[in-house]
């Protein structure tokens, strides 16, 4: 397997990342960099590869200002170059599984009949879940995508701030998510840290590796 990074460069990206409190609103993420970050979202892993999500990328200032009050007036919403809402599917169904199987068959150039066992296995897993379990499972997938996005951003020198402080029902209404069968789960601001962000110079506080990693 090709090595794209050195251990040292990864360590730098991990340690320089922090939850940015203030962004420089005069700086915008370059188009080619954003294309790469979008790819990190599209290529994020999910259970069964089902991808029960949509990523709403907000860059228009008017919409950011509309969203800020329902995000507890956090400044990152309007200061960041891009504000991303991670939304999960509210009612995953057999039709969504069929759509995935169709896509697998097309991309991998295999007959759908050869995917029947896989499809039925996913049907069974879905059918065993209650509605609440299904919604919770879908929501957790969004956090997988969020983690990949934040790491990709740090590797490209982009600052981020994950934000659970959103009023989901209000965000959904503003963005029309309910009408398309999705609900907001978490958000992430992305851009460049402001020189006025006092937290940028603070040392990262983490427990020692020996306290959190158990080797067997």
Within-domain flag for 124 = no
- Residue 84: predicted pLDDT: 99
Within-domain flag for 20 = yes
- Residue 2: predicted pLDDT: 76
Nearest 5°: phi and psi at 175? -95, 0
Q: What is the span of the domain harbouring residue 156?
A: 7-91+142-212
Asked if 159 and 20 touch (Cβ cutoff 8 Å), the reply is yes
Q: What is the three-class DSSP state of 122?
A: helix
**CATH at residue 84:** 3.40.109.10
Location of structure tokens 């379990």: 133
Tokens of 91: 């009612």
Within-domain flag for 78 = yes
Within-domain flag for 107 = no
Q: What is the number of domains present in the chain?
A: 1
- Straight-line distance from the first to the last Cα atom of the chain, in angstroms, rounded to the nearest whole number: 26
* Nearest residue to 174 (alpha-carbon basis) of 56, 54, 23: 56
Give whole-number Cα distances, 15 to 11, 154, 159, 172, in Å: 6, 9, 12, 34
Task: Enumerate the H helices of 55-197 as residue ranges.
Answer: 61-67, 76-79, 94-108, 116-127, 131-155, 168-175
Within-domain flag for 131 = no
Give whole-number Cα distances, 110 to 58, 113, 117, in Å: 37, 8, 14
pLDDT in tens, the chain (216 residues): 677 889 999 999 999 999 999 999 999 999 999 999 999 999 999 999 999 999 999 999 999 999 999 999 999 999 999 999 999 999 999 999 999 999 999 999 999 999 999 999 999 999 999 999 999 999 999 999 999 999 999 999 999 999 999 999 999 999 999 999 999 999 999 999 999 999 999 999 999 999 999 999
- Relative to beta strand 182-191, strand 82-89 is antiparallel
* Nearest residue to 183 (alpha-carbon basis) of 56, 63, 68, 58: 56
Q: How far, in Å, CA of 180 to CA of 190, rounded?
A: 25
Tokens of 62: 């008017």
Tokens of 104: 């697998």
Within-domain flag for 37 = yes
Within-domain flag for 43 = yes
Within-domain flag for 125 = no
């Amino acid at each position: 397997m090709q090595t794209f990074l050195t251990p040292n460069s990864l360590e730098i990206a991990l340690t320089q990342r922090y939850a940015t409190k203030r962004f420089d609103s005069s700086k915008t993420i370059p188009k080619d960099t954003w294309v790469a970050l979008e790819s990190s979202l599209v290529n994020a892993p999910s259970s069964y590869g089902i991808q029960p999500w949509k990523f709403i990328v907000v860059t228009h200032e008017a919409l950011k200002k509309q969203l800020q009050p329902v995000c507890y007036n956090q400044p990152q919403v309007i200061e960041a170059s891009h504000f991303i809402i991670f939304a999960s599917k509210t009612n995953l169904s057999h039709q969504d599984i069929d759509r995935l199987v169709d896509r697998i068959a097309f991309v991998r150039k295999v007959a759908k009949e050869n995917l029947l066992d896989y499809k039925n296995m996913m049907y069974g897993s879905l059918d065993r879940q209650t509605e609440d379990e299904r919604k919770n499972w879908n929501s957790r997938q969004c956090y997988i995508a969020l983690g990949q996005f934040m790491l990709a951003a740090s590797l490209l020198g982009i600052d981020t701030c994950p934000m659970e402080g959103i009023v989901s029902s209000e965000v959904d209404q503003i963005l029309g998510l309910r009408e398309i069968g999705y609900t907001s789960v978490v958000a992430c601001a992305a851009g460049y840290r402001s020189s006025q962000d006092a937290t940028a110079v603070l040392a990262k506080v983490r427990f020692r590796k020996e306290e959190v990693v158990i080797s067997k």
